[in-house]
Amino acid sequence: MGELSGIAIGVTAERRADDFITALERYGADVRHAPTITIVPLATDPSLRAGTEAVLAEPVAFTVVTTGAGFRGWLSAAEDWGLRDRLVTELEHSRIYARGPKAVGAIRGAGLRESFSAASESNAELFGALAAAGVDGARVAVQLHGTPLPEHTDPLVRAGAAVVQVQPYRWHSPPDVTPVHELIDAVLAGELDALAFTSAPAAANFLTLARSYGRHDELLAALRGRTVVACVGPVTAAPLEEAGIGTVQPDRQRLGALVKLLVTKLGKG
C-alpha cells in the first residue's frame, strides 16, 4: 500500500501531466485528471513566429528569459522555421537576464551565458534588476510563458525601453470542458483531498471555467475548507491567493518537490 493510498488528488496540468500523474500513482494516489488549458502548438503558432521575426529585425540590448521550458520551446520552434542559428546569434550579443536556475540551464544549454539570474526565481526580482540596469532607449526581448506580464513589462516601456514580447506556450480553454466541470463537482462533493496546479494559467482558467459553469462562489468556499490546494510555486499560486484561496508550496519550484509535499501533507506513512 502506498503512502497516498485512498487519497484523491485532482491534477489540472496539460504539460508534463503524465510524469506528474505517474509519480502520484506510484505512491498509491487516486488521480482525477482534468486539464484546464490547452497549449497552442509552438511551430504552428503565427504569433510566436511574428514575435521571433520582430526580435530578429533589429539588435536587442537585453533578453529576458522567464522559464527554461519556454526558452527551449522557443528555440525548438525557431529551428523548425530555419531561424534558430540567427536567433541564438542575436541573443548572444545581448545581456541575458534569467528567472532562476531552470532558465539558466536552458540558456547555457543553447551555448549562451546569462548576465543575471534571480536567486528568488521571482519575476519581481528579475524585472527589478533589469530596470535597475537602465533600459532607456534599449530594445528588450522578453520571453513570456503562458500569459502576458504587463505589471512587469509596462514599467519597462515607461522607462523608455522598446519591448518585444514572445510568448511560447500560448493557451486557450480545452475544447471539451466537461472533465473540468466534473473536477469542480468532485471538489464540491468533498470527494477530493487535494488539487494540484503547476502553472498560473491553469490555475486562473480553472477559476474562470468555474465562473462560466455557475459554481465559482461555491468552489471558492470549498477550496477555503478542507481541500489542500498545492501549487508548484508562488507564480502558479498567485491567481488562487488573489481569490482568497490558501495554498501550500514546496521549498523548491520543481514537480518532484510538489509530489513530495503532497506525500508529506496527505500521506499515511
pLDDT for position 17 = 86
| Residue 205, C-alpha cell as written in the block | 482558467
d(CA 10, CA 8): 7
Average pLDDT over residues 41-63: 93
Residue-range domain boundaries for the chain: 8-37+175-266, 46-166
pLDDT for position 42 = 79
Average pLDDT over residues 220-232: 94
pLDDT for position 126 = 97
Instruction: Report whether pLDDT(1) > 60.
Output: no
- Quickly state the pLDDT bin for 154 (edges 50, 70, 90): very high
Q: What is the CATH number of domain 46-166?
A: 3.40.50.10090
Can you list the alpha helix ranges (DSSP code H) found in 134-199? 150-158, 178-188
CA 11-14-20 angle, to 5 degrees, is 50
The domains spanning 8-37+175-266 and 46-166 adopt the same CATH topology: yes
DSSP state of 16: T
d(CA 163, CA 7): 46
- Dump pLDDT digits (tens) for 159-168: 999 999 999 8
Class assignment of domain 8-37+175-266? alpha beta
Average pLDDT over residues 145-163: 92
Average pLDDT over residues 251-263: 92
Residue 47: which of 154, 170, 159 has the closest Cα?
170
Q: What is the pTM of this model?
A: 0.69
pLDDT for position 269 = 59
- Quickly state the pLDDT bin for 39 (edges 50, 70, 90): confident
pLDDT for position 25 = 95
| 67 in Cβ contact with 104 (< 8 Å) | no
- Dump pLDDT digits (tens) for 97-146: 999 999 999 999 999 999 999 999 899 999 999 999 999 999 999 999 86
